[in-house]
Amino acid sequence: MSAPQLSVLFFLQMFVILAACRLVGAAARRVGQPLVVGEMVAGVLLGPSLLGLLAPGAQAALFPPESLKVLFVTAQVGIGLYMFFVGIEFDVEVFRRQMRSAAAVSLAGMIVPFALGAALAPWLMQMPGLFGEQVRSHEAALFLGAAIAITAFPMLARIIYERGLAGTQLGTLSLAAGAMGDAVAWCVLAVVLASFGGGAVVAVKAIGGGVVFTVLMLTVGRLLLTRLGAAAERDGRLTPTMLSTCLMLLMLAAWATDAAGIHAVFGGFLLGVAMPRGLLTRELQRDLEPFTVVFLLPMFFTYSGLNTRLDMVNSLPLLGVALVVLAASCLGKFGACWAAARLTGSDNRLALAVGALMNARGMMELILLNIGLQKGIIQPPLFAMLVLMAVVTTLMASPVFELVYGRHARAEGKLRETPPVDD
Amino acid sequence: MSAPQLSVLFFLQMFVILAACRLVGAAARRVGQPLVVGEMVAGVLLGPSLLGLLAPGAQAALFPPESLKVLFVTAQVGIGLYMFFVGIEFDVEVFRRQMRSAAAVSLAGMIVPFALGAALAPWLMQMPGLFGEQVRSHEAALFLGAAIAITAFPMLARIIYERGLAGTQLGTLSLAAGAMGDAVAWCVLAVVLASFGGGAVVAVKAIGGGVVFTVLMLTVGRLLLTRLGAAAERDGRLTPTMLSTCLMLLMLAAWATDAAGIHAVFGGFLLGVAMPRGLLTRELQRDLEPFTVVFLLPMFFTYSGLNTRLDMVNSLPLLGVALVVLAASCLGKFGACWAAARLTGSDNRLALAVGALMNARGMMELILLNIGLQKGIIQPPLFAMLVLMAVVTTLMASPVFELVYGRHARAEGKLRETPPVDD
């Protein structure tokens, strides 16, 4: 397709996506799901699983494969920006006080999934057509472990942000544990890819690059950003040059983490964490958040739905395997995170809430699974099972959170009301 | 390239583009050019004409052809949004009072260019390698006429907007004449394409679609939008649903005009004109303008530069022809618009200012020329000459405007100071 053809289509796609997200989002809110779940469901409805079944011609005309690349890129920009705001809301002080607990939760949320991955992999490898034929058993175990371990960091962030929890004990604990856990999961994926043919450099780049980036951003980066913050305070406003500078830094941070092989969301998040709080961050949020949240973000969550094919788990044995994978995933993430939070001093309700949030897989899982599928590590049926697991754990997160924590916390006035659709 | 590869690259491209635009933009301001010219020049510097000469490997790695499509699409979204704001600032009352003058200016700015196109075409067709071999003489004349007639509507809008002229007599006259003239030029292009193999439906769609869209938007559309405006006033704020609705309408308007074959900028502009002024439009500008102007818009103007190759006018005879084309273009647009404004009662200074602004060709010309090149109507040497004409007339606009109008108007306090880089 030529560039002008792509751009005509993009306008139409965005109209359809925004309309679907508003409609399904309003419905999702009615049944107690957050807007973000509505956006993912809207994507599934617009994708091969519904629109593609009802009107395959229209679906193919509206979302031809090449146009999905443009949606993907703009969606990545949106999620990078969004994670920047999440980082800004992240309370470093609260985090310091909870470091031990956060480390324990994220550690447990990795060790148990990888143990389960190691236990399940030999069994799954006996079945034909799940893993790629050249995959060795340790690679299968690591990939499965990473798939179980991963958290929907952006979605977790969004639920926390929507509920006004970003600066609280619960919010900080979950965000920190989610970020650490996911960073490790991406590094493990890099190890698998390295072992599976990419060469050691893939793993070194991801792990080394991630560490170097984090350290630089939180030391030198933070220092330089303080000056920018001071300049904004002095001027009493955010000039276009300052805004442009911040956007440049964001692009650079997203590029650096993305190019290293961990995801662009970390670049955005860490830049946000490193920002000096004050007029600068308030004005940045004021200037950039509406467009990000209302226009760019729906693209990210809808995109993940657009690529979900639920029709591939199509026999009873496969469904059985899928259920085992699902159970193991919930046990490995929800169970392990709950236990770790309890053991490091959180009360039961808070620990359950952390487990519920950490258990959502969302888009990050889908990105990881797509890489696995592209590289031939997993095959379509296992891909579909893991997608199913991702969808179910994502849909579970909000109701379970509400059940174990939300209604109590709200009764005690510790939690913002579920915001209406229009908030 | 895979979608993740494109998105990693996009982050890097945006960093480079934003940085180049800020640097060159600051330099442009210093020599009295508006920011937008800085952004176009930044694009030329990053394109084949400079970076491509100095470091061809780096240039090819940074801007591979497939990635340009993504830049193009996001740039179109940016210009659609921007023209929406320009439409909001457009003063319909002032326009009504000046309708006769605006119609005369736009009419003159079309008739004279097409007459010159008809006069020059036979001469140019005698030279080999300028027009395509299958092109008939009336097609050549019409295409050349459209190329001379076209105005950099977005750039004209941006200069007017930057200087705070959007609601004034000068601003309204130029915007109205520019919009009408360009709409006709796109329709003529559609006629040429129809005659050159696209079939009559191309022309009917563009002309009929454009008329129907304009009428619908300014009657039914305006009526419905009034309700949205009233709802915002009642709520005292712009809710996310309202913001999303406006963005949906914008996408739909841009898609409709783009799909009809006139450009997406008209959809954005007309939607803006149809909006009820008040809290709704103020909040929309507050929410969307910073990201549009600082992030998306530089992409649009840089993109046009990225695609400019100045090295194709490479012999003395060709340079001679290029100069004739340039002179005819300035005469046909600057001269004709000045004369028409004078004859309908504008004073000389205002008429000169209108001519200076209407004479800029900018990105719209490049879009038109690229279509002509793709379809085989013109060949690379003529393409390069017309690009040169577009660049020169664009660079001329601001200094000439300053010379004939700006310095006098500023002395009388009728014009905002050239804004500093940081405004």
Which DSSP symbol is given to B170?
Answer: H
Q: Which of A46-50, A210-214, B112-116, B348-352 shows the lowest per-residue confidence on average (mean pLDDT)?
A: A46-50
Among A17-26, A162-171, B154-163, top mean pLDDT goes to: A17-26
Q: Is A103 exposed, middle or buried (0-12, 13-18, 19+ CB in 10 A)?
A: middle
> Distance between CA A319 and CA A262 in Å, rounded?
32
Residue recorded with tokens 């034929």: A133
- Using alpha carbons, select from A162, A145, A136, A23 the residue that is nearest to residue A82: A162
Residues 6+ away with beta carbon under 8 Å from A116: A144, A145, A148, A328, A329, A331, A332
Half-sphere exposure of B183 (CA within 13 A, CB side): 23
Q: What is the dihedral of CA A309, A311, A317, A323, to 10 degrees?
A: 50
Q: What is the pLDDT of residue A14?
A: 96
> Distance between CA B310 and CA B378 in Å, rounded?
16
DSSP sequence for A146-195: HHHH---HHHHHHHHHHTT-TTSHHHHHHHHHHHHHHHHHHHHHHHHHII
B422 and A80 within 8 Å at the Cβ level: the answer is no
Q: Between A252 and A171, where is the model more confident?
A: A252
Tokens describing residue B237 = 């704020």
Which DSSP symbol is given to A335?
Answer: I
A378 bridge partner residues: A131
Q: What is the pLDDT of residue A166?
A: 74
CATH class as words, domain B80-411: mainly alpha
10-residue mean pLDDT series, chain B (423 residues): 90 96 89 79 86 91 93 92 85 77 86 90 90 88 88 78 78 84 77 74 84 92 94 91 95 93 84 93 93 90 75 78 92 91 90 90 76 82 85 86 84 65 49
pLDDT band at A133 (very low <50, low <70, confident <90, very high): confident
> Distance between CA B132 and CA B128 in Å, rounded?
9
Of B14, B240, B258, the CB nearest to A294: B240
To the nearest whole Å, the CA of A272 is away from the closest chain B CA by 17
Please report residues of B whose CB lies closer than 8 A to that of A294: 240, 243-244, 247
Sign of the dihedral defined by the CA atoms of residues B384, B388, B391, B397, in that order: negative
To the nearest whole Å, the CA of A307 is away from the closest chain B CA by 13
Q: What is the pLDDT of residue A419?
A: 52
> Distance between CA B104 and CA A206 in Å, rounded?
64
Of B3, B4, B255, the CB nearest to A15: B255
Q: What is the pLDDT of residue B305?
A: 74
A11 and B252 within 8 Å at the Cβ level: the answer is yes
Of A14, A244, A290, the CB nearest to B22: A244
Three-state SS for A23? helix
Residue recorded with tokens 């340790």: A138
B224 touches B149 (CB < 8 A)? no
Phi, psi of B223 (to 5 degrees): -65, -45
Among A226-230, A315-319, A410-414, B358-362, top mean pLDDT goes to: A226-230
pLDDT band at A423 (very low <50, low <70, confident <90, very high): very low
Q: Is A67 exposed, middle or buried (0-12, 13-18, 19+ CB in 10 A)?
A: buried
B244 and A69 within 8 Å at the Cβ level: the answer is no
Q: Is B61 exposed, middle or buried (0-12, 13-18, 19+ CB in 10 A)?
A: exposed
> Distance between CA A272 and CA A81 in Å, rounded?
9
Q: What is the pLDDT of residue B67?
A: 93
Three-state SS for B263? coil
Phi-psi sector, B409: left (phi>0), alpha (psi -120 to 50), beta: alpha
Mean pLDDT score, A400-413 = 83
Residues 6+ away with beta carbon under 8 Å from B37: B28, B394, B395, B398
> Distance between CA A48 and CA A50 in Å, rounded?
6
Residues 6+ away with beta carbon under 8 Å from B138: B195
B8 and A374 within 8 Å at the Cβ level: the answer is no
- Using alpha carbons, select from A173, A50, A110, A154 the residue that is nearest to residue A397: A154
To the nearest whole Å, the CA of B36 is away from the closest chain A CA by 14
Of A254, A287, A367, the CB nearest to B291: A287
Please report residues of A whose CB lies closer than 8 A to that of B241: 22, 421-422
DSSP sequence for B270-298: HHHHHSPPSHHHHHHHHHHHHHIIIIIHH
Size of the A and B interface in Cβ pairs below 8 Å: 163
Residues 6+ away with beta carbon under 8 Å from A286: none
pLDDT band at A308 (very low <50, low <70, confident <90, very high): low
Mean pLDDT score, A303-320 = 76
Of B1, B2, B244, the CB nearest to A18: B244
pLDDT digits (tens, 9 = 90+) for B84-100: 988 887 777 777 777 88
A15 and B243 within 8 Å at the Cβ level: the answer is no
> Distance between CA B29 and CA A394 in Å, rounded?
51
B77 and A10 within 8 Å at the Cβ level: the answer is yes
> Distance between CA A300 and CA B72 in Å, rounded?
20
Q: Which residue of B has its CA nearest to A284?
A: B290
Mean pLDDT score, A108-113 = 88
A184 touches A206 (CB < 8 A)? no
To the nearest whole Å, the CA of B401 is away from the closest chain A CA by 25
Whether residue A131 is predicted with pLDDT greater than 80 in this model: the reply is: yes
Q: Where in chain B is the domain with CATH 1.20.1530.20?
A: 80-411
Fold of the domain built from segment(s) A70-411: Na+/H+ antiporter like fold (1.20.1530)
Half-sphere exposure of B68 (CA within 13 A, CB side): 18
Please report residues of B whose CB lies closer than 8 A to that of A422: 239-241
In Å, the largest CA–CA distance within chain B is 67
Whether residue A198 is predicted with pLDDT greater than 90 in this model: the reply is: no
A6 and B241 within 8 Å at the Cβ level: the answer is no
To the nearest whole Å, the CA of B404 is away from the closest chain A CA by 29
> Distance between CA A322 and CA A301 in Å, rounded?
23
B211-247 burial code (b ≥16 CB/10 A, e <16): eebbeebeeebbeebeebbeebeeeeebbbbbbbbbb
Please report residues of A whose CB lies closer than 8 A to that of B422: 239-241
Q: What is the pLDDT of residue A373?
A: 81
Mean pLDDT score, A104-130 = 89
DSSP sequence for B350-405: HHHHHHHHHT--HHHHHHHHHHHHHTTSB-HHHHHHHHHHHHHHHHHHHHHHIIII
Please report residues of B whose CB lies closer than 8 A to that of A245: 22
Of A11, A76, A77, the CB nearest to B251: A11
pLDDT digits (tens, 9 = 90+) for A72-87: 999 999 989 988 987 8
A3 and B258 within 8 Å at the Cβ level: the answer is no
B345-366 burial code (b ≥16 CB/10 A, e <16): ebeeebbbbbbbbbbbbbbbbb
B301 touches B390 (CB < 8 A)? no
Q: What is the pLDDT of residue A170?
A: 85
A267 touches A256 (CB < 8 A)? yes
Q: Is A197 exposed, middle or buried (0-12, 13-18, 19+ CB in 10 A)?
A: exposed
Q: What is the pLDDT of residue B422?
A: 53
Phi-psi sector, A32: left (phi>0), alpha (psi -120 to 50), beta: left
pLDDT digits (tens, 9 = 90+) for A337-378: 999 999 988 889 989 998 998 888 876 787 778 778 877 889
A interface test, pick of B186, B202, B280, B295 with most A CB neighbours within 10 Å: B295
B11 and A258 within 8 Å at the Cβ level: the answer is yes
Tokens describing residue A32 = 């107690």
Please report residues of A whose CB lies closer than 8 A to that of B292: 291
Residues 6+ away with beta carbon under 8 Å from B179: B153, B266, B269
To the nearest whole Å, the CA of B307 is away from the closest chain A CA by 13
Residue recorded with tokens 């004709």: B336
Q: Which of A3-7, A262-266, B17-21 shows the lowest per-residue confidence on average (mean pLDDT)?
A: A262-266
